[in-house]
A and B are shown apart, each in its own frame.
Chain A
Amino acid sequence: MIEPFTYFWLLLGASLFSTGGTGNLPTLHQELIERGWANEQDFVESLAIGQIGPGPSGLWVIGLGYLTYGLLGALMATLAICIPALVVLLVNMLYRRIGAHPATAGFIRGIGLAIIGMATVIYFTLLLNAGITLHNILMLLAAMLLGSLKQVPIIVILLLAGVAGILISGG
């Protein structure tokens, strides 16, 4: 049973310390799965919804909110990603004072690298959960290849993957 206050607090805390996009993924993955409030499938599906949907890439968390806690979850997630965006005004003022110090850039770089390292592990976990099969690996590599050609929209890649999934499953 999801506790609304804790749920919102986790969403907010993860987004406050996020560097944008999927920066809140490691914290949310750890906290929500530990509590049994989300599963690996919810994460991969909400990441897909976030890829298809318009707007900033950080909106994937709204999909996660909806899949795990319905409309209330989606609204909480929206609020949780808006508040840190306002905090940026405060950070901006602070940054004028300490931003010029190279150690600040080093601190931000360290956080960025940690998020990248943890996100890589989470994507591996999602892959393990889906199964390391030949067709999954081929699909993954094809998506990476098409994604690296910036002319192909993400929605087209996911639609093609969906059709391939139906064909492979014998639908």
Chain B
Amino acid sequence: MAMTVLLGWRIRGWLGVFLSMFGLLLPSVSITIMLAAFYTSVREQPLVQQALQGIIPATVGLGFLLVLRLARPILKESKQEGPRSLATSIILLVSSGTVFALFHPPVMVLLWICGGIGAYMVWRNLR
């Protein structure tokens, strides 16, 4: 979506932004709302509840796959930078998840801390 905004801006300024957002979102948002509305109307049907027995774990599986796909390029880049960078990335990944699971801190705080550590480590490596 951000890419669409940038492209729209570069092509025709604010009009480009408006038109590109409109073109991207109108069909997809309308269909998503219709899907959600349809789902809400059939949510309590026994057949849908049975289907959910398969859809829920499959959705979680697709979520795990997404997480792996997001993590892979970051870890690969860190590995290319050297063992210290890779170790930092793995520690940030594991510790953010662990702290989030055990202590339930505000997400924004955790994001700023991890972002700060990431920035500090890169800055320190350059010195």
Contact = CB atoms under 8 A, between A and B. Distances in A.
Interface of A: 13-14, 17, 20-22, 26-27, 30, 44-56, 58-59, 62-63, 66-67, 71, 74, 78, 81-82, 84-86, 88-89, 92, 102-121, 123-124, 126-127, 130, 135-137, 139-144, 147-148, 154, 157-158, 160-166, 168-171
A117 B54 contact: no
A117 B122 contact: no
Given A30-B104, A85-B4, A117-B96, A161 B54 contact: yes
A163 B53 CA distance: 9
Q: Which of A22, A55, A89 has the most CB of B within 10 A?
A: A55
Interface residues of B, number: 76
Mostly, the B contact residues are: helix
B57 A86 contact: no
Contacts of A158: 55, 58-59
B93 interface: yes
Contact of A141 (B24, B40, B61, B111): B61
A147 B27 contact: no
B36 A27 contact: no
Given A117-B95, A162-B54, A127 B122 contact: no
Q: Which of B52, B54, B74 has the most CB of A within 10 A?
A: B54
Contact of B58 (A119, A123, A161): A161
B5 to A, nearest CB: 5
Contacts of B29: 55, 59, 62, 78
A51 B59 contact: yes
Mostly, the A contact residues are: helix
Contact of A81 (B1, B96, B97): B1
Given A49-B39, A52-B35, A107-B119, A116 B70 contact: yes
A140 B125 CA distance: 40
A44 B100 contact: no
Interface in B1-54: 1-2, 4-6, 9, 17, 21, 24-25, 27-29, 31-33, 35-37, 39-40, 43, 46-47, 49-54
A140 to B, nearest CB: 4
B100 to A, nearest CB: 5
